[in-house]
Amino acid sequence: MFRKSLPLIGLALALSACGTVNRGMESVHQPVVQRTDYVIDLASSGDRLAPGERDRLEGWFRSIDLAYGDRISVDDPSGSLGVRSDVDSLLGRRGMASVAGAPVTPGAIPPGSVRVVVSRATASVPGCPDWSRSASPEFVGSTMSNYGCASNAALAAMVADPTDLIQGREGAAAGDPAISSKAIRIYRDTAPTGTRGLKTETTSKSGN
């Protein structure tokens, strides 16, 4: 009976060794940031957008669901400040503004046109979940193959601007006490929900 079990044990050990091996403390499953560029070409008139192009741009912003974290740039061969001002006026309604330096995009800009580029970054953790390696027995000192998937996938899903995972933002040289203490002040001044008492409801039942 024991001799018959030896081949099965050997096969199980061989299969368990085929999974992801990680003998370190850092997870091999790290967030990956990808960038997608959306472009639209708009006609210009002088140093402004041509009539009707502002409405077309506004509709395009809505169609791609422009949101925080998107980087908007204007690729204008003429370098007109008026065109950028028209674009920024639409972005200002969303609390956003264009950035300097547009990325290289395929295709030439038609004469008399400008190109608005929206660069959107997304973060994900490829290869998760990963149950390719048995949790036990463990003979090579490796962490579980799924180690780090949950925490890093949650980080990738929660980060407002995925580019912050690549390069963090520089903090201000001096913090503003009014801003830093705002959350603490709200927490202290807000009355606990338990002081309002329990909600009561009255129901009535009437017969026919």
pLDDT of the residue at 192: 82
Domain parsing of the chain, residue ranges: 35-121
Task: State the Cα–Cα distance between residues 31 and 10, nearest whole angstrom.
Answer: 35
Task: State the Cα–Cα distance between residues 127 and 133, nearest whole angstrom.
Answer: 13
Q: What residues contact residue 12 under an 8 Å CB cut-off, 6+ apart?
A: 134
Sequential pLDDT tens for the chain (208 residues): 445 554 554 444 554 456 777 787 889 999 999 999 999 999 999 889 999 999 999 999 999 999 988 999 999 988 889 999 999 999 999 999 999 889 999 999 999 999 999 999 999 999 999 998 877 777 777 888 899 999 999 999 999 889 999 988 777 666 778 777 888 888 888 888 777 777 777 777 666 5
pLDDT of the residue at 1: 43
pTM of the model: 0.65
pLDDT of the residue at 23: 80
Phi and psi (nearest 5°) for 134?
Answer: -65, 140
Rounded to 10 deg, the angle between the 53-63 and 81-92 helix axes is 50
pLDDT of the residue at 207: 61
